[in-house]
Structures are given as C-alpha cells and as structure tokens.
Structure 1
Amino acid sequence: MISPIFLSILLSSSVQLVHAHGWLGSVTVGSQTFIGNVPNASPTGTVIRQIDDVDPVKGASNAFLNCGQNAQLASDVAQANPGDTVAFTWVNGDDGPWVHNTGPMQTYMTSCGSQDCSSFDSSDASWFKIQEQGRITPGGDWAMSLMNTGAPANVTIPSNIAPGNYLIRHELIALQIAQTEGGAEFYPACVQLTIGGTGTGTPTGDELVKLPGAYSDTDPGILVDAYSNPNADYVFPGPPVAAFVSGNTTDTSATAAAAPSSSTSTSGSCKKRRSVEVVNDVRPRTLSRVMKSLLTQE
C-alpha cells in the first residue's frame, strides 16, 4: 500500500507537471474571439480543434504532431480576410498564462480544398509555413517567453493569399530538455478558417510538407542545447517560409514592440484573454499512466 506521505508527493508532482503543460485557450481572428475547449471535456462550438491531453507531443514522427493530442474536428469555422491578425493565446494546465519560455514558435497553413474545414481530415494534409520566430534579440529571451504574462502570439494571414478554406496551425516547441534526443516538446494547435478576398498567393510544390514528416528528432533545431550558447543562430526545423508570404514574421506582444529583432519582428498589442466566467471554470486534470497505476494499487 502506498503511504499517505508518498501519495501526497506524487499528487503534488503530478499537479506541477499539468501546470507546466497546456493548450490553446483561445484565438482571436480579426475582431472575433473563440474560446477553445478544455482538453478531454465535453466539446462546445468553437473553431479550435480540441485535444484530449495537456501533455506535449513527443517525437518528430508522432501522428499527433499534426494538430495536437488526438485532435478532433471543430464544429465551427472562423471568417477571415487576407492581412487579418490571428492572436493565439496559450494557457497552462491550470488555465493560467503559458509557462515555458525557451524555444521557437512556427505557423503553418493547409488548404482544406473545396470542403468545409469542419469535416477536413488533416492527417495527410500538405502544409506550408507562413511564420517562424525564435529569440527576440541575439542571445536574449525567446519570443515564447512573452506569453508568460498572458500575452498572445499574433500572426498575420498573408496579405496576398488565395481565398478558400484553410487550417492554420500554430506550434510551440519547448526546448528546456531538448539536449537529449526525444526531449523536445511540441505543442501544435489547429484553427479552422474560411478566407475571403481576391488574392492569388499559393505555395509551390517544394514548399509543402507533411506533419509528421517534415521534422527529424536529430534536426539541429530539435536536438539542441538551448542554454550552452545563447548567441548561436537557431536553425528552425521544417521548410522555409513560403516565398509568396510577404513580411513573413510574427507579432507577439506589446512587450516586445520596442525591442530589436534577430530572426523576426515583434510588435502589436495584448488581447484580453478570456472572460471571468471562463477563467473560473473547473479544469480537469490528466494524470500520467504511472500515477494511474499507483492510484489503483491497494
């Protein structure tokens, strides 16, 4: 039988791990804000594909690298226009501000073709990159760290993109334990859009990739010691930003607006994250397989 003291330590450790992980809590497309479903809770209408676990996706060949842990189709689709800002607000496992602060952010898109993205199976989709962001300044903090205050990561839809149905995929890669193979933590999330306008911009065939398929666990931007040489150039995994994308950078928060940039520009404004009612919702916890096994012992 597990002693009460040992069980208390295990439960405390589990809560800390859940707190350190997280999901896409909300997204603002243009002027509309959509709240994401709590992982593994009963879904409600939204444009964010719901995941079922706050834990990171581990391994570059993991099928969940596509849109997140067992991501499910969302019921709604956001209306957007070329040049709109999409503000991704990530939260931790307790619905507070994002915790991790080391690693890049990248954004991809894929066409859903003629069908509505609410019924589009993305498992074999072809993705193109529209944004990548690393450190704010050479040797300085990563742009991801700006979200520790609750600020969103703001990404601009390409101003010349062809109209149609698209998934936009935002990805955080946490590198705090990436010194060993398989240590990198991937947090992808997908949002369903219909984009209007009269643009003609599309990616070329060699700019399209599969996810998983675009990364390797030994890529220099995935198997990396992010602390030993902070002045070293970061090598983003995956393809380059598609050539048709103009100003292929991201806005992260007002905090970084005045800071010079090394790999991208940073500007924009913070968005209100979510209503008081949503913040006060009870959040389910996800225990590890080890914890579940221990708790079932007599």
Structure 2
Amino acid sequence: MYRLSALFISLLAVAPYVSAHGFLGQVSVDGTPYRGNLPGKNQGSSPIRMVADISPVKGTTNPDLTCGLSAQAAALTVPANPGSNITFQWEGGQDGGQDWPHNVGPIMTYMASCGSTDCSSFNASGAKWFKVAQSGQKPDGSTWYQADIMQGDSYTVTLDQNLSPGGYLIRNEIISLQLASSMGGVEFYPACAQLNVGGNGNGQPNGTVSFPGAYGASDPGIYTPDVYNPGFVYQFPGPALSNLQAVSWSTTPAVAIDANFASGVAAPSAAPSTAAAQPSAAPASSAAPAPSSAAPAPSSAAAAPSSAAAAPSSSAAAPASSAASSTASAPGATGSCRVRSKRANANATNADRRRHFSRVNRRMTH
C-alpha cells in the first residue's frame, strides 16, 4: 500500500515538470567566483567542465556519470589550498537564471587527483574518486538539504587540511529521486571543476571509486521505492567518506552569478545580487566559520562532518548548521521539479530587481 501511494505521489509531483533540469552555474574558491559556461555554449574560459545539455544523466553504467553529459575539459585550473571553502551555485533552465528545480535527493562531493597531467587535459574516465561530503535528509526526516538549493542557496565544502598539493577535479553531484521509485528512474546531475591545490599536505585518500562503477541500479540510495513514505531513511550510495573528507559542509546563502570569464567575455547575469539572496532555511550554526587553518577532518571513513559552519568569504551571513531542522516544504507538498524565474524586468533598477527577487523567493509556487 505504502509503495503504491509513494509512486502515485511522485507521479503527481513531477508530471507537469518533467523538462525542468539544471546545471552548475558557478564555483567560488575562498570567495573568488568563476562562472561556468551555459550548457553547450562556450562563452569563455572557466574551471567548470561544460556539459552539453541540462538533462540528467540516466543509468548507473553511463560514462557521463563522471562529470555530466558529454562534459568537456575546461580551459582553467584555478588555485585553492587545504582548508579552502569551495562554493557551488546551481541553476535551472537551459540558459540559467532560474532556481534549481528539484528538492528530493542527496548532494555529494568527490575529488580525484589529476596526477602528473594538467587537469585541463586530464581524462576523467580514468579518475579515482574519493568522497569528501554528503548531505541528505534533514533531521526532521521529511525534507532534504537539496530543498535549500531549490530555494536558491549555494552549497559549500571546506577542504581537508592534509590534502596533498597538486591538480584535482572536484565533483559536486545532485541526485534527484522524484522518479526513483521505479528502477532506473533516478536522475544524476554531476559537475566537475578543476583545482590546483597548494600547501604542503601529504594525505593520501582511501576508498577510491570509479565512475561509472561506484553505483548500482538496485543500490538502496539509487532505487528508492519508499522515498515518499513516512519514516523513510535514506542510505547514501557509493563509498564511505574518505579519510580526506571535508572539514565541513553547509547550504549557504546564494552567491551572485556575475563574474566575468577569464577571457574577458561576460555573459548576462543569471542570478540576483547577494543583497537579494534568500538565507538558508536552517538557522545559522552557533559555531564560527571555519578559517583556512581549521583542524583536519576526522579520519574515520564513516563519520559525517561534525559541523556545517564553513562559509565562503564572500557571504555576509553565517551558513546553516548541518544538524538544524528546516522550514522548507515537504517534497510531496510542493513537487520536486519546479522552475522559478529569477529575472526581473531588464530595464528595472538594481533596487527594483532586489525587491522583486525578495518577493519571488518568499513566494511558494506549485
């Protein structure tokens, strides 16, 4: 009975929105933003590997699980350090400018060394990935941290202090479960950015995996027939957290997607200014934001990060605690495939746009 009701609810939730998808629009390193290209449109130099389309990757044996649909190596490899805050800002719509459209499923982050090859020419199909962060259900058991991304928030991880120097791909992945009550229905949205980590760490990751190969079609976190049933407890797919797991992770206030490409070519802004950002639905952690000299992450492979206190240096607000409950809408109530426009009238003043975005972010849409 529960399984049938879950399927019915999931079909109702997504029926009008099956074409609503998205992509990684920007990555920031310690507050320095780097814009990503729109899918299939090479607009300028970026550290984010450009995907061909906003559609999800389907199937656990799909080679595109590595970095996204037909992902291309990026022109830039940008500097970072052990303890750096890496912030991901996701967007919805083929041309961006909309909120991320899904709210049910985990957010996971992996890293892989590029070895002696420059990351801009590294073939990710041979990468050995280690998991550094994972975020799933909130403590209330009915909402997900992905729902904060749907509200416009960004996602930040703080790199381990003992990370060895060199080139790395960092892979932020959103898994959408709104159709995962059927075998093969799960939607993967992986995205990769290229980092060059400095410092003098000497850590070597354990528990590395390959993509494809890390997930199976029938894994509990991939095939979730009971995802909308009361009491459902999510099990993360893939490996356990690495010994080089992130110091912390958090959903954090939105960052504006307004950086120029390194080539000097600027694309239209696809997100409101920071002043109009909607704060994370969870209350701020009482812990101070983690500085670059924060203590190393726990060595236990199974332990989740104990704090969500890290915040990008460009953010004025403290990030949400990873243990805090949220007022975000339950998945079955609002639907898990929603796109809301963030663009105001192109001729409006900045103040007008900020007021517009504030109103839009407060408004519930179904």
Q: Which consecutive unaligned segments of at least 5 residues does structure 2 have?
A: 1-13, 254-279, 287-303, 316-341, 347-366
Within 5 A, what are the aligned runs for 1:1-298?
A: 16-18=17-19, 20-93=20-93, 94-204=96-206, 207-224=207-224, 225-229=226-230, 231-245=231-245, 247=247, 249-253=248-252, 255=280, 256-258=282-284, 265-268=307-310
Give SS of 1:123's match. helix
On the 8 A contact 1:136/1:266 being kept in 2, the answer is no
- Give the deviation of 1:115 after TM superposition: 1.8
Deviations 1:230-285 (A, max 9, x none): x33311000001124364x421125224479xx6644455867xxx99x97xxxxx
On the 8 A contact 1:89/1:151 being kept in 2, the answer is yes
Structure 2 residue identity aligned to 1:239: P
- Give the deviation of 1:123 after TM superposition: 0.7
On the 8 A contact 2:157/2:246 being kept in 1, the answer is no
- Give the deviation of 1:75 after TM superposition: 0.2
Structure 2 residue identity aligned to 1:149: Q
Deviations 1:201-236 (A, max 9, x none): 1113xx01000001001000010032113x333110
| Aligned counterparts of 2:215 and 2:28: Cα–Cα separation in 1 | 28
Per the alignment, do residues 191 and 34 of structure 1 end up closer, same or farther by CA in structure 2, a change over 3 Å counting? same
Structure 1 residue identity aligned to 2:28: T
Deviations 1:81-114 (A, max 9, x none): 1111111000001421111000001000000012
| Aligned counterparts of 2:124 and 2:251: Cα–Cα separation in 1 | 26
Structure 2 residue identity aligned to 1:29: V
Structure 1 residue identity aligned to 2:243: A
Aligned partner of 1:10 in structure 2 is none
Give SS of 2:148's match. helix
On the 8 A contact 1:57/1:68 being kept in 2, the answer is yes
On the 8 A contact 1:85/1:156 being kept in 2, the answer is yes
Deviations 1:6-28 (A, max 9, x none): xxxxxxx999544x200001110
| Aligned counterparts of 1:45 and 1:113: Cα–Cα separation in 2 | 22
Give SS of 2:111's match. strand
Deviations 1:127-156 (A, max 9, x none): 110111111214131001101222101111
Per the alignment, do residues 180 and 27 of structure 1 end up closer, same or farther by CA in structure 2, a change over 3 Å counting? same
| Aligned counterparts of 1:16 and 1:175: Cα–Cα separation in 2 | 14
| TM-score (norm: length of structure 1) | 0.80
Give SS of 2:34's match. strand
Structure 2 residue identity aligned to 1:104: P
Count of residue pairs the alignment pairs up: 258
| Aligned counterparts of 1:241 and 1:84: Cα–Cα separation in 2 | 18
Per the alignment, do residues 155 and 244 of structure 1 end up closer, same or farther by CA in structure 2, a change over 3 Å counting? closer
On the 8 A contact 1:252/1:268 being kept in 2, the answer is no
Give SS of 2:89's match. strand
Give SS of 1:193's match. strand
| Aligned counterparts of 2:243 and 2:212: Cα–Cα separation in 1 | 22
Structure 1 residue identity aligned to 2:167: N
In angstroms, what is the RMSD of aligned CA positions? 2.7
Per the alignment, do residues 31 and 253 of structure 1 end up closer, same or farther by CA in structure 2, a change over 3 Å counting? closer
Deviations 1:35-58 (A, max 9, x none): 110011134100000000100001
| Aligned counterparts of 1:245 and 1:218: Cα–Cα separation in 2 | 26
Give SS of 1:113's match. coil
Per the alignment, do residues 218 and 31 of structure 1 end up closer, same or farther by CA in structure 2, a change over 3 Å counting? same
| Aligned counterparts of 2:36 and 2:244: Cα–Cα separation in 1 | 30
Deviations 1:49-89 (A, max 9, x none): 00001000011111100000000010001100111111100
Q: Which consecutive unaligned segments of at least 5 residues does structure 1 have?
A: 1-12, 281-298
On the 8 A contact 1:68/1:189 being kept in 2, the answer is yes
Per the alignment, do residues 15 and 246 of structure 1 end up closer, same or farther by CA in structure 2, a change over 3 Å counting? closer
On the 8 A contact 2:163/2:201 being kept in 1, the answer is yes
Per the alignment, do residues 23 and 162 of structure 1 end up closer, same or farther by CA in structure 2, a change over 3 Å counting? same
